[in-house]
Amino acid sequence: MDALLNEDDERLQINILPHLCIITGDTATFSLKATTNQSLVAYQTEFAFNNLATPLALPNGDGNPINIFNINSGQLIGNPGEFYNILTTNNSKKLKVSWMNDVLNQTNLINGVSILQFDISANQNVCDISQLLSTNGEIATQLYGLTGKLNNVNLVLERVDIQSRSASNFEKSEININPNPFKDELNFTFSNEKEQKIAIVLYNSLGQELNKVEKTFPIGINSYTFSNLSKLPKGQIHYRMIKDNKSTSGTVIHD
C-alpha cells in the first residue's frame, strides 16, 4: 500500500525511554506505544538509525550498529493494509511505516496500545538508542481516526525484552552492584568458578570510556570498588563486565 500523505509537517513527538544496554550479538524487541482518549484506524512513522558523523567501521556489516527485523503491528488487530520498508543508504537505515485497517475498524488507545514492534540485533553495544535514532525524516509521525488526525497522543518507544542472548554474553544477574544511585564509590560483587582475568568498564551514553579495571581475580566471591567517582557526569553511567570471554552490561545512576 502507498504511504499515507503527510497533509502538513505537524509531527507527533516520540519519547524514547532509557533502557539497559544491548550487548554486541544480542537481540532485543522495541515497541512503539500510543496512548490517547481516541481511536485509531491508521498511522505512519519513520525512524532513521545511525545518523552519525563518522559511520562505524564494521568488518561484516553496512556500518550500522544495529540490524532491524521482525517488524509487525504490535497489538493492533484486524485485516490491515500495511507497509514496512527498510532503506539502507550512506550507512543509515530508514524504517518507513504506514498502517491502515482496510475495513476501518477502530482501535481505542485509552489504555495504551503497541502500534509497532520490531527486533534489533546489536553489532556493537547499544546503551542509548536515542543517540542513533531520528524521527525527523520525510514521513511525519501521525495517527489518524475516522475524522482525521489525532492530537494529544503520548507516543513512547521502549525496549520490551531481550529476545536472544549471544553465546558470548552472560546474565547481569550474576553480579551485584551497589549503591545505585551512587555518589563517589561503586562496588561490583561477583563469583568466579576459576581464577581468571576480568575487566569492568564504565562509560557514558556515547560509548566513551570513563573508568576501567582489568585484573586477575581468584576463585570464589570477589569484589571491586571504583573510588573517586564524584567528577563523573551526573545521570546514567553504563558499565560492561567481561570475564571468561563473555560479557554483560547495564546502567547505574550517578547522583
Give tens-digit pLDDT for 156-172.
999 988 777 777 777 77
* For range 29-41, the mean pLDDT: 96
40 and 130 fall within a common domain: yes
- Domain boundary among the residues 164, 196, 221 is at 164
Does residue 146 lie within any of the structural domains?
Answer: yes
160 and 180 fall within a common domain: no
50 and 128 fall within a common domain: yes
Does residue 115 lie within any of the structural domains?
Answer: yes
* For range 111-116, the mean pLDDT: 95
* For range 219-224, the mean pLDDT: 88
The answer to whether 125 touches 22, Cβ cutoff 8 Å, is yes
pTM flag (> 0.85): no
- Domain boundary among the residues 164, 189, 215 is at 164
Does residue 188 lie within any of the structural domains?
Answer: yes
What is the C-alpha separation between 66 and 29, in angstroms, rounded?
12
Band the pLDDT of 221: cuts 50, 70, 90: confident
Q: What pLDDT, in 10s, does the model give residues 42-82?
A: 999 999 887 554 445 444 455 677 888 888 889 987 655 66
Which string of b and e fits 84-123 if b means at least 16 CB within 10 Å? eebeeeebbbbbbbbbbbeeeeebebeeebbbbbbbbbbb
Structural domain span for residue 201: 172-254
